[in-house]
Amino acid sequence: METWQVVLLGFLEGLTEFIPVSSTGHLLLAGHFLGFDSPGKSFEVLIQLGAILAILSVYFAKLLKLLLDLPSDPKSRRFVFAILLAFLPAAIIGVLLHSFIKTILFESPALICTTLIVGGIVLLFVDRLKLEPKYIDVMHYPPSLAFKIGVCQCLAMIPGVSRSGATIVGALLMGTDKRSAAEFSFFLAMPTMAGAFAYDLYKNWTILQPDDVTNIIIGFFVAFCVAVVVVRYLLDYVSRYGFALFAWWRIIVGSLGLAGLYALG
């Protein structure tokens, strides 16, 4: 694989991981049209480590305070418990369906394009609803709400659905505001993506070649740099403008993808 292609895919990962457009869907479609096929589809999963580190770097002070407050602050303990509870459904389903997801769903570009379009329509509809939020601070999300958001996250096992999109839409429909829904998605991404990275590495490290490792390192670095910018500015953008831009983004990319698949047979 050419270096420019690796850089392009790393850029796509960093740009799309935390916005509700499906980073995995974008990577798989781009790889399909570029003729790139990583061993076990590991590249697309393992470069997510760059996005994980981007969150850690941007939220380092907040995470450190949360860690230091754990022994003495019940609110901090409840929040950490809520995140772990929300992570649990995806962890279980991801392990049970890992082979099906990687060998069937990841190999279905037409499905990815379709879910991008459908997800865009859903996001556009939800963004225009006049919802009255009951929760505006992620630290006040009750564990029951967090668990339900975690169940919604499981829809993202289907490439093109979007992990952040599923969690944000679920959170909004269950009474959160847009900013805190996006922020909770950030926090939930940490254990989810770290778990996916660790499990995929465990399953596929024996088939990775030196060139694959080099590509992953380059993709990881590019994803990290781009994701840092996205994480810093996304919450303010969402608070002001909502999710309509990302909804139309999904619809356009999905439509272009279907057109490309049709044109290429």
pLDDT digits (tens, 9 = 90+) for 61-71: 989 999 999 99
Question: 146 versus 53: which is more confidently predicted?
Answer: 146
CA distances from 260 to 1, 29, 109, 247, 263 (A): 21, 10, 10, 20, 5
CA distances from 187 to 50, 64, 85, 161, 219 (A): 15, 13, 12, 19, 22
Sorted by sequence, the CB contacts under 8 Å of residue 107 that are 6+ apart come out as none
8 Å CB contact between 258 and 110: yes
Q: Could you report the per-residue pLDDT of 239-251, keeping only the tens digit for each?
A: 899 999 999 999 9
Residue 57 has pLDDT above 80, yes or no: yes
Confidence grade of residue 115 (pLDDT, cut at 50, 70, 90): very high
Domains of the chain: total: 1
Tokens of 175: 């009474």
CA distances from 141 to 59, 85, 134, 136 (A): 19, 12, 10, 9
Mean pLDDT of the chain: 91
Cα separation, 128 vs 243, in Å, equals 9
8 Å CB contact between 75 and 139: yes
Confidence grade of residue 265 (pLDDT, cut at 50, 70, 90): low
Percent of the chain with pLDDT over 90: 65
Q: Could you report the per-residue pLDDT of 229-238, keeping only the tens digit for each?
A: 999 999 899 9
Query: Tell me, what's the pLDDT at 91?
Result: 93
CA 79 to chain centre: 20
8 Å CB contact between 149 and 105: no
Least confident stretch, 2-6, 42-46, 73-77, 93-97: 42-46
Query: Tell me, what's the pLDDT at 218?
Result: 92
Average pLDDT over residues 10-26: 92
Q: Could you report the per-residue pLDDT of 124-154, keeping only the tens digit for each?
A: 999 999 899 999 999 999 999 999 999 999 9
Query: Tell me, what's the pLDDT at 158?
Result: 93
Model confidence pTM above 0.75: yes
Q: Could you report the per-residue pLDDT of 165-211, keeping only the tens digit for each?
A: 999 999 999 999 999 999 999 999 999 988 888 888 888 777 778 88
Beta bridge partners, 176, equal: 135
Query: Tell me, what's the pLDDT at 42?
Result: 76
| Structural domain that includes position 126 | 3-263
